[in-house]
Amino acid sequence: MPPEGWLALSELTRSGAVDGSGADAGVAAHYGNPLAEQRALAAGDAVVDLSHRAVLSISGADRLTWINSLTSQSVTDLKPGQSSETLLLDATGRLEYAVRLLDDGVDLWLLLEREEAPGLLAWLSTMVFMLRVELRDRTNELATIGAFGSPQILVASPNGVPLVWNDPWSAVTPGGWQYAAVEHHPAVQWTYSEMLIPRATLAELDLPLAGFLALEALRIAAWRPRLATEGDEKTIPHELDWLRSAVHLTKGCYRGQETVAKVHNLGHPPRRLVMLHLDGSDSVLPSRGDEVLLGESTVGHVTSAAQHFELGPIALALVKRTTDPLAELAVRSEGILVPAAQEIVVPPDAGAAANVPRLPRLGAVKR
């Protein structure tokens, strides 16, 4: 449940608002017409209330070099107003936190899921040592609004720089790597941003609103991973093609780097992300965790699903790397088998990127 006081300030007070659930409880899933809201959001004619998200800040002269040493992205040269994202991994390279970053020259702003904030703040607090950094939870002060385009919103600017985070997913970032082998990546059209506004002004927001389901459908269509849905206790960044925007492959050491380098250069991720185009004949939209089947064998699970205003029912799923990329799959949902066609995000041969020369076989005769 959201912290006390959040509901009173969120846009659940709008007419027709239907509360979300799970990680998205506390904001509207929709306001009565999800597909129309989705069209408006995609066109830049509506915004989405993300006030259930958390906001942290780090001040001090060492803030950028400190975060750079702990996480997957290179941010030491992040300029005021620039956006980035980074991942905090465990020692085995598995995902623990995904963080959107924005620096304003004084503070480094961290935007993340509500449920991730307490754990991340506690862990970062143990890593301060003698560095010049100060951590603060700013969630009760600032609320997050998502949009495409440039809506007319009074954005918070506590240090003279508007707090607008522009999602880097639209292109491969410097030092990153894309596994998706497509000529036209759907993220090219992903012009998504998040703005921080004073939380006290949220109820006064005078703009057309789209529910959270609208954003989820557009996110799935752009193959954009979200830790709260695509992630589990085994997830490594390669499986979600997250090296594209959140990992710098040649930066200095950080926790989990060995696994990142090893899988990318010499191995293959054990699972791979696919987008599924679902048969809508039975009007069943799968839920997170529903089994993905190849014949009678379970090969993966759905991570998120939505009804897209142009593509129809779609989903993201994690499947075994060895799953035939040309095979027709099915999703078992509510006791019904829903046929599903794969669109490959991470191909089976992802990884093994190092050009390692083959050593001659022991005892072989050189000619």
Phi/psi for 117 (5° steps) reads -60, -50
**Rounded (10°) angle between helices 34-42 and 212-221:** 60
- 320 secondary structure, DSSP code: E
Q: How far apart are CA 99 and CA 133, in angstroms?
A: 18
Give 271's Cβ-side CA count (13 Å radius): 23
Please tell me the predicted confidence (pLDDT) of residue 149. 87
Closest by Cα among 170, 177, 175, 174 to 269: 177
Tens digit of each residue's pLDDT (9 = 90 or more) over 148-202: 988 889 999 999 999 999 999 999 999 999 999 999 999 999 999 999 999 999 8
Closest by Cα among 350, 282, 354 to 318: 350
Domains of the chain: 6-244 (3.30.1360.120), 268-344 (2.40.30.110)
Please tell me the predicted confidence (pLDDT) of residue 4. 47
Instruction: Give me the residues paired with residue 192 across strands.
Output: 148
Give 127's Cβ-side CA count (13 Å radius): 20
Please tell me the predicted confidence (pLDDT) of residue 303. 98
Tens digit of each residue's pLDDT (9 = 90 or more) over 202-220: 888 889 999 999 999 999 9
Question: Is the pLDDT assigned to residue 353 strictly greater than 80?
Answer: yes
Query: Average pLDDT for residues 330-348, to the nearest whole number?
Result: 96
Q: How far apart are CA 62 and CA 347, in angstroms?
A: 39
- Note the pTM of the prediction, 2 decimals: 0.93
7 confidence band (pLDDT: 50, 70, 90): very low
125 Cβ neighbours under 8 A, 6+ residues apart: 135
